[in-house]
Structure 1
Amino acid sequence: MHVSDELSEKYGSIFTIYLGSEQVVVLCGHEILKEALISLGEEFSGRGSMPLFEKHAKETGIVFSRGERWKQLRRFALTNMRNFGMGKKSIEERIQEEIRFVVEGLRNTHGQPFDPTLFLTLAVSNVICSIIFGDRFDYEDKKFVTLINLIEENGKLQCSPWKRYVQVFILFFSFILGEG
C-alpha cells in the first residue's frame, strides 16, 4: 500500500499536505481524478510553481507560462502544428506505421534478450515526431537517440529529491536578495 493510499483512508480522497512551506493538494482515486480533470478541467488547469525554471524562463513558452498567456500560446502552437500537417494523417495510421518499425526492430534482436526501454521510448517519440513534424527518425539516428536520452535524463532529474532542495535554495536566496 502506498503512503497516499494510507493517507486517503484516514483523510478522504482529497487532502492537503505540506512539502516545506509549499501546500500540495492530493487527489486519490479514479473517480475524483476524472471529476477534477474532466468535469472541472478549467479549475484544475493551473500549474504549480517551479522556481528552478521560472528564474531563467521568466514564464515564457508553453511549458512555463500560466493562465491566459498559456491558453494563447497553446492555441497558437496547435494552429501552427496543424499547418505543418498535424491531423492530416490519423494518429492510428501513424501508430500502425511505427508498429511496423517496432516489429522489424524486434526481429533484428534475433531472439536475444534486450532492454526494450529505449526502443519503446524511441517508438513513442517517433509517433509524436510524426504528428508534429510529419516525419519519423530512424532508430539508429545518433542525434535522435542522444536527444531522447537527454530528455529521459532530464525527466529523472525532475523526479530527483535534489530538485526540491535546489528549489528551496532558489526561493530562499530570491527572498534574501529581494527578488521574490
Structure 2
Amino acid sequence: MGNNNKRNMTIGSNNNKMVRTLITGSVLAITTGLLCWAWYKNSVASTQNKDQDDNKQNNKKNKESGKEKNTVIDTDNKKPSKCIIVTEQINNITNVNWEKLLKKDVVLLLSPDISKIHELNEDNVEKANLSKVIHCETGLGMWACVKSLRKDQLICMPSDLEDGIPDDIKHFVKQIIAVDSEESFKKASLDV
C-alpha cells in the first residue's frame, strides 16, 4: 500500500511539473512575441518619422533657396506609347524609318508569318532598342504580348490578322488604331 501512494505522488508531481513547464513556456512565447511586435512597431514608426523629417528639411531648404522643384510630371505633352503589329502588308510598306520608330516608346510585334522587317537594318539600331522587336510564333502569343505590354495605342491592320482583333484587347490598350492603307499606317505610326 505504501508503494501505491508513492507512485501516485510521483505521477501527480510529474503532471504538476509538466503543467508548470507548459504554462511557463506559453508565457515566455507570448511575452517574446509581444516584445518583438512592440520593437517592430517602434522601429517602423521611427523610420517613418525620420523620412517625414527629412522631407520637411528638404522642402524647407528648397523654399529658402528659391529652388522649389516641381515634382508633377506633365503627362499632357507625353507622346502615347505604341505597339505595332507588323503583318505582311505593313512589312511591305516602303520608306518607313523603323530605326527612328524604335528610338521612341514603340514596340514592334512581328506576327507569326513574319520573320524579319524588310527595311529594318538591325546594324543601325541600338542594341537596347532591338529588344523592342518581338518575334511572335503564334497568334495567341502575339495577343499575350499586347496584353502584357499595356501600351497606349495598338496599331494594326485587321484585314491581315487571321482571326481579327480579340474583343478583350480593348481592356489592355487605351486606343486601337486599325489601319487599312499605307497612308493611314504612316500617319498613325509617325505621330510619335
Shorter-chain TM-score range: under 0.3
Higher relative contact order (CA 8 A, sep 6+): 2
Please identify which structure carries the higher helix content.
Answer: 1
Please identify which structure carries the higher strand content.
Answer: 2
> What's the TM-score, normalizing by structure 2?
0.19
> What's the TM-score, normalizing by structure 1?
0.20
Q: Which has the larger radius of gyration?
A: 2
